Amino acid sequence: MNNSKVRIPKEIAPDVFALAAQLYAQQNQDYSLEEIMQAGAEVQIPPEVIQQAIQQIQAKQIRDRDRQRKLKLILTSGGIGAAIALFGFWTYNTFASNATPSGRSLEANLPSANLANANPLNIPPAPPPELPPTAGTTFTGEVKQYLLNPEGKVDGLLLNNGLQVKFSPQMADSLVRIITPNTKVSIFGDPGFSTRFGQEVRAKSITNSQTGQTLVEQPPTIAPQPPSLSNYSTLSAQGTAQNWLVGHRGEINGVIISNGTIVKFPPHVGEQLTSMSMANIKNTIQAKGFGTRNRYGQILEATALSVNGQSVSLQPKAITEP
């Protein structure tokens, strides 16, 4: 039989390719990473995009299995036990970094004829979710500057619309590689209380809107190390208030002044500034303390602070006995 003379109508050609891919997948239950990379290269998909897709698929399946375990705990517990389990599940979904990654999946990038109905990673399929998806909100904006912790590690972003995006410092190295000041970003996360001083967003995923690269918040893999005193130095700064920094409840805990320096202080000091009507943009700020200066910026934890020439007490808040 001469197969070259057989003509396939174009209306059924997609079905032929899909069925052929399914039959091929049944005979070949897994693929090597090299085979996946080669398939991607044929349709001009960079290897790093395929690696990112693999990591996101694996992360999603781990999260789905965690949800199922927690659901079983809730269903098998009774009374107070069920309430405790439900509260633990809510806390996990509120603070853990388990945002659904954005961007196209591996299957969407490779031709359907090659991957249709196949399981190229040979990962057991996750059971269908039985609980509502993790709550979150999407925000967009342009990065104005990095936010730092007192050790000088990047732990957030200040956007040009005033949003303050926070994430764990362990992700700093990955973030600064794909996000820089003046980059347009899309943030998916948990919004804090909005005030006239600003709003904090705890990011679950951060996407570079121009390149499509996404960074997903992950739980720490190692215990945090205690800060090294050698990282700190005595610093001072002076300028006008440009952005007041807030926590998740809207409490003021710092200020960015006109030279870009981040000045941090405890929330009870922010309450004092608010009650004295001293937390205003363009107020003159003078601060001394200890902190870090590096290529990402300058931050100091204030040990002395004045606003418009008026000294502000930094004494610990008194504890009232019952």
Per-residue pLDDT of the chain (322 residues; tens, 9 = 90+): 455 556 667 667 666 666 665 665 556 555 566 666 666 566 566 666 666 666 677 667 677 766 666 555 554 544 444 444 444 544 444 444 444 444 343 333 434 334 334 444 555 555 444 434 456 899 999 999 999 988 889 999 999 999 999 998 888 889 999 999 999 999 999 999 999 999 999 999 999 999 999 999 877 666 666 666 667 899 999 999 999 999 999 999 999 999 999 999 999 999 999 999 999 999 999 999 999 999 999 999 999 999 999 999 998 866 555 5
Q: What is the pLDDT of residues 228-273, one digit of tens each?
A: 666 789 999 999 999 999 999 999 999 999 999 999 999 999 999 9
The tally of CA atoms less than 13 A away on the side-chain side of residue 309 is: 0
Tokens 């005033």, located at residue: 162
The Cα–Cα gap between 142 and 180 comes to 10
Nearest to 152 by CA among 241, 261, 32, 282: 261
Length of the chain: 322
Kindly state the helix (H) or strand (E) to which residue 53 belongs, with its residue range: helix 47-76
pLDDT of residue 106: 36
Nearest to 102 by CA among 52, 158, 164: 52
Give me the phi and psi of 49, to 5 degrees please.
-70, -40
Q: What is the pLDDT of residue 4?
A: 52
Strands of the chain, DSSP E: 137-148, 154-159, 163-166, 184-191, 199-208, 214-216, 233-246, 252-257, 262-264, 284-294, 297-307, 310-312
Instruction: Please tell me the distance from the alpha carbon of residue 49 to that of residue 45, in angstroms, as a whole number.
Output: 7
| CB atoms inside a 10 Å sphere around CB 269 | 21
How distant, in Å, are the alpha carbons of 65, 76, 111 from that of 212?
27, 42, 20
Can you give the pTM of this predicted structure? 0.56
User: Tokens standing for 68?
Assistant: 């199922």
